[in-house]
A and B are shown apart, each in its own frame.
Chain A
Amino acid sequence: MSAGQDAKFFTRGKIQVRPAKRVLSLHPQTPASFQEFRQELQDAELKDKKFVKRKTVLKKIVANITMGNDMSPLYADVVQCLSVPSLDIKKMVYLFLVSYGRSKPEQIRYALPSLQQDCNDRDPLVRALAIRTMSYIPLPAVTKAMIDPLRHCLQDKDPYVRKTAAMCVAKIASYDLKILEKEEFFPLLKDLLLDPNPVVVANAVAALTELSEKTKSVSFGLDLQAASKLVVALADCSEWGQIYILDSLLTFVPQSTQDAEILTERIVVRLQSANSAVVLTTIKVLLYLMNYMDDRRAIEVLCRKMGPPLVTLLSSGPEVQYVALRNILLIIQRRPTVLRNDVKAFFCKYNDPIYVKIAKMECMYRLARDENAHAVLAEFVEYASEVDLDFMRRAVRSIGRLAIKIESLADKCIEALLDLIASKVSYVLQEAIIVIKDIFRRYPGKYEGIIPTLCENLDALDEPEAKAAMVWIIGQYANRIENADELLDDLLYTFLEESIEVQLALLTASVKLFIHKSTSETAKNLVHKVLKWTTEEIDNPDLRDRGFMYWRLLAINPAAAAEVVLCEKPAISTDTDRMERGALDQLLLHTGSLSSIYHKNPETFIRNVRGKALTDSPALNEASRKVLISLPPETHLTIETEPPPLPSRNAHPQSPSLPPLPSATITPTATAGLESAALSPDRLLNNNDEEDEQEDESSSDEGDAGSTNPNHGKNQMRDPYADLDGAFGSYLNDEPKPLEGRRLDDDLLL
């Protein structure tokens, strides 16, 4: 059969062969159409030179499977074709079996003999094909039938068969663990770790890693000797195999700093691989091992070596660039010397995809420091006039954040923001106001002179966040704004229609105004009006309560009220948007994975995944031990919860975002989607609270609760700086994240 001619089997709705068309569009289940397929297959048996005819029919069937048409009624007829001595036909039949084997448990027996026979074929490729196919069919009958062949294949003389067999063990484990335990397959698999062929070793490692994450009966931890052996195999296996082996090195816990150093020396050369996944996985292992090293200089050298390969990843395809950038963001927070001087590599190209641009901008912000701040600011200003709205807004915000981060640049940033405000572009304006509010708090008494300019643009603000920011500014500086009362009065016209965010800001601002100008009649009227509204007409409990609080405060002791409301506020700093160290250490164990893109631990957004944590050992260095986060004793997550709205930068395993429900409560398989979905939110919430309390208690036992538990609800109450989160929280909310993971959706996907 000549190449490239198969498209004709594929044309949707226009298939020339009549029966196929009918199968496609009219009555997929009508026996008649299958009858015709059947007929064709039977006809093909006659005078079928080189089996061309049968091949044609089978191709048609495979095309239909692809297009999503159920071809399973043809099961028996297709299996019949196994009698034809053609490898092409065999492969197609096996593909059919992989697609439908599961749905026809009663008919598999027609195919089994042929499969079993192939397991003993002289040709190693056929042997491998047969066990591979069988292992894809999750039926007890097939599993039983392949136990013996698989055992042989694991010890086959051909490495290709052995490497395929290793994967088969992992496959069977995904639906029938018990039989593997009973038949003692795990020791056989472990034997393959010592196989002379590195490709076999790599697949065995991959299979064992996956198994050890799934079941307790397989433990996979390396000691120095085993790790060294695997590292030797690295040089000779495929690039993919290198990734599996490098990955497994995370199970090696160095007992001395020397062990860690030796290993880093031996894998650091993998940074020169052309495959980005090898590079990132190598970096993951290096970062991991650095936790167990003490020699500052050695760590420094490793950091220096990591930089260039990371920058080079930025010339790969945009998808890999994106993965790299999201990881770089984490890496430079933990190891600031990496890429310290490479900020230019992150300057956006005009034609970069938007996701790359946004990630680059974030990296530039992180890398900004006194020496390069001017160049970074100039870039941000450039981006603020680009076409993509979202990008433009982020650029404006980033200018403000830069002002907050780098004091020496604050003047320039304010200048740039004022220029942008002068452009009168609505979106730019709104973003600028939001960040300027934060700048005021960072540098009290320095930039208030620009307030009149801001006030000029009051009418253009229509987004709640910007409006609230402006209202805050008016209230806070009511004593310097001559017509503050007029401005507020204007804003209050629409009070009842505003969003809660703006209403809260208006309430506080009116109170501030009143305290600043207690003699003013307008101010008195305003505050009275607002308090009356909030306490009588508003349903929102937050707003109402705050209204009552202010009212009483003002009624009982106005002097104290002044002290409370106008107290000196702690200056904002950028420390709050930095991820906490221990959490970073933990997150970096997932470098290169999905989790590193979302900056969240996998167990918080993927069900049935176990978390990872650094393991304590005598070699663990002081800095890392101080912030060590160990996994909660039992983290069997059986239920997916909605990812938390990211209240702060942390990805803490003990945070409320992770409710370690006892696995007995609800198991996803046991309950049908709708019911459990209706039930669970409440239960989850309750559990959340309980869990939270428990965690708090237990961690305070450790004595170091403050530093290891950054963002519990309780903490926020204790911590006077906690509500600063709001100042930066919104930036973090812009981060890429898994889409709202409603459990329902997820169940639909299943």
Chain B
Amino acid sequence: MISGFFVFNQKGEVLISRLYRTDVKRSISDVFRIQVVSNSDVRSPVITLGSTSFFHVRVNNLYVMAVSKNNANAALVFEFCYRFIAICKSYFGKIDEESVKGNFVLIYELIDEILDFGYPQNSEADTLKMYITTEEIKYASVAENSSKITVQATGNTSWRRNDVRYKKNEAFVDVVETVNLLMSSKGTVLRADVDGHIVMRAYLTGTPECKFGLNDKLVLDRAQRGNSQSDSGGAVELDDCHFHQCVRLEGFDTDRTISFIPPDGEFELMKYRSTTNVNLPLKILPTVTEIGTSQVSYIVTVKGSFSPKLSATNVVLRIPTPLNTTSVDCKVPMGKAKYVPAENVIIWKIPRIQGGSEPTFTGTAQLTSTTTKQAWARPPIDVDFQVLMFTASGLLVRFLKVFEKSNYNSVKWVRYLTKASGSYQIRF
């Protein structure tokens, strides 16, 4: 298991260092600094030197690093690093050098709590916040209170306090889908799939019991048959789904119901993957021609293939140019396009594309002559976008029911968002 846990800044200075086992020394951080921080070509997140292994995750300008002297569970170590990052974000709103330095005493308290002898312990931010806070807890009067906390921290709903109160009971469900697309230069789809995340923000009183239903195929086959209020194309086939630990997996296994007691506030209820019938919201039609060795001409059309009532926002196309490009003249009907020499791309930003519209970029890149024989590698065109109230998989939330013993009414909101960032790639 984990022998030591460290946080470094960009320069390799130690911001947090905590040892959990006597088999490593504090100076182990120097080894990491030499091997990873000051190494410009790190080709693995795990490095093993002798019997000592370093696991690191980079986040913003920091290195979060765990060191182990045995055959540690690598997946667990990385998950723990991710969790540490998530907890910091939950506590400080962000994680960077400034926030770590500004709260280092608190972080020491946290990592003393969430890692014992190198074994991760309860690490639910919501529960941790009950007893590890920035405010001084009054020393004498806490014993009874503490018992509540400890029961909470070790209980079977360790993610939720039982004293939550809200005047207005609300639950927000965000279905966020990230589309992964890889299109070949011939225009065939090599790979198109959807990573879905269902994020819930629950502001509900007491210990509510929630039931959640989707239009995924198995649910529909069983319970929802004949319930044809929606004509959105019926069932969606999910390849796989994973749940927050609050969801009772046993229930899901037997009858596909998703039932749970939610943590207070925001959490990721579920993630899923779908590979069948993916609706690609944007179609990209590139024509890129190399004219001799001195010019490249571009005609790139973006087509919004979704209902005209919807629109794609924050669309950014990154169109690669050869390394020896000197200038590009760009013509666009909407948005702004410009050549960014430092990254060898043309960036075309379109604030909004209505469904059905087809703006086209035309441009010519001027090249200088070079001596290198190597042909231009033609990296793919990359597109980022967001489409509200649209799911590429066709997934819909059928219902969210909240039961609580005081029987209050709750208001539920559902939003859908389909987006791509760095994952929508078209070769040409």
Contact = CB atoms under 8 A, between A and B. Distances in A.
Contacts of A551: none
B321 to A, nearest CB: 14
Interface stretch (B294-302, B304-312, B357-365, B373-381): B373-381
B403 interface: no
Contacts of A311: 239-240, 273
A741 B45 contact: no
A489 to B, nearest CB: 28
Given A6-B101, A311-B273, A317-B57, A749 B52 contact: yes
Given A159-B150, A167-B119, A273-B243, A594 B52 contact: no
A110 to B, nearest CB: 21
A184 interface: no
B51 to A, nearest CB: 4
B352 interface: no
A219 interface: no
B13 A12 contact: yes
Main secondary structure of the interface of B (DSSP, over half): mixed
A66 B48 CA distance: 24
Contacts of A102: 22
A167 B14 CA distance: 27
Contacts of A237: 156
B420 to A, nearest CB: 11
A239 interface: yes
Contacts of A592: 73-76
Interface string B97-137: 01101111110110010001101111110000001001011
Nearest to B24: A749
A279 B53 CA distance: 22
A164 interface: yes
Contacts of B422: 349, 351
Contacts of A320: 75, 78-79, 82
B276 interface: no
A315 B123 CA distance: 22
Nearest to A427: B374
B271 A741 contact: no
A199 B244 CA distance: 17
B242 interface: yes
A410 to B, nearest CB: 22
Contacts of B124: 238
Contacts of B342: none
A503 B154 CA distance: 68
B146 A124 contact: yes
Interface string A82-113: 00011110011001001100100000000000
Interface stretch (B166-174, B245-253, B327-335, B411-419): B245-253
A355 B46 CA distance: 10
Nearest to A739: B49
Given A167-B119, A590-B71, A739 B191 contact: no
Interface string A184-228: 000000000000011110010010001000000000000000000
Contacts of A597: 46, 74
A163 B154 CA distance: 8
A372 B56 CA distance: 35
B135 to A, nearest CB: 8
A199 B101 CA distance: 32
A736 B69 CA distance: 18
- Measured as residues with beta carbon below 8 angstroms from the partner, the interface class of chain A is 35 or more
A172 to B, nearest CB: 10
Given A167-B119, A323-B75, A350-B382, A160 B153 contact: yes
Nearest to A90: B139
**Among A6, A423, A425, residue most surrounded by chain B Cβ atoms (within 10 Å):** A6
Nearest to B242: A274
A586 interface: no
A3 B154 contact: no
Given A281-B73, A742-B50, A167 B45 contact: no
Contacts of A609: 70-71
B140 interface: yes
Nearest to B249: A269
A132 B20 CA distance: 11
A56 to B, nearest CB: 11
A440 interface: no
B143 A203 contact: no
B400 interface: no
B240 A123 contact: no
A586 to B, nearest CB: 13
Contact of B28 (A3, A244, A749): A749
Contacts of B377: 385-387
B215 interface: no
A429 B39 CA distance: 29
A250 to B, nearest CB: 12
Given A197-B154, A355-B43, A741 B76 contact: no
A425 B374 CA distance: 6
Main secondary structure of the interface of A (DSSP, over half): helix
B49 A423 contact: no
**Among A3, A62, A167, residue most surrounded by chain B Cβ atoms (within 10 Å):** A3
B136 A86 contact: yes
- Measured as residues with beta carbon below 8 angstroms from the partner, the interface class of chain B is 35 or more
Interface stretch (A34-42, A468-476, A479-487, A599-607): A599-607
Contacts of A594: 46, 48, 53, 68, 71-72, 74
B195 interface: yes
A128 B76 CA distance: 24
Contacts of B266: none
B51 A746 contact: yes
A167 B136 contact: no
A138 B22 contact: yes
B1 interface: yes
Contact of A322 (B45, B50, B52): B45
Contacts of B102: 3-7
Interface string A348-371: 011100110000000000000000
Contact of A174 (B21, B50, B51, B116): B21
Contact of A423 (B180, B248, B375, B423): B375
B75 A312 contact: no
Given A159-B150, A593-B71, A746-B50, A95 B108 contact: yes
Interface in A283-329: 308-309, 311-312, 315, 317-320, 322-324
A132 B116 contact: yes
B399 interface: no
B401 interface: no
B21 to A, nearest CB: 7
A10 B245 contact: no
Contact of B136 (A1, A123, A158, A749): A1
A417 to B, nearest CB: 16
A466 to B, nearest CB: 18
Interface string B254-273: 00000000000000101101
B184 interface: yes
Nearest to A198: B156
Contacts of B120: 240
Nearest to B14: A66
Given A158-B150, A170-B117, A243 B139 contact: no
A355 B134 CA distance: 39
B25 interface: yes
B389 interface: no
B158 interface: yes
A638 B93 CA distance: 47
Given A66-B16, A92-B105, A385-B377, A598 B239 contact: no
Given A236-B156, A606-B51, A736-B44, A3 B106 contact: yes
Contacts of A721: none
Given A132-B112, A317-B57, A594-B68, 4 more contacts: A206-B119, A280-B73, A319-B55, A743-B50
5 contacts: A158-B151, A238-B124, A319-B45, A609-B71, A737-B48
Top 7 closest pairs, chain A to chain B, by CB: A746-B50, A160-B150, A308-B240, A738-B48, A602-B71, A3-B134, A7-B101
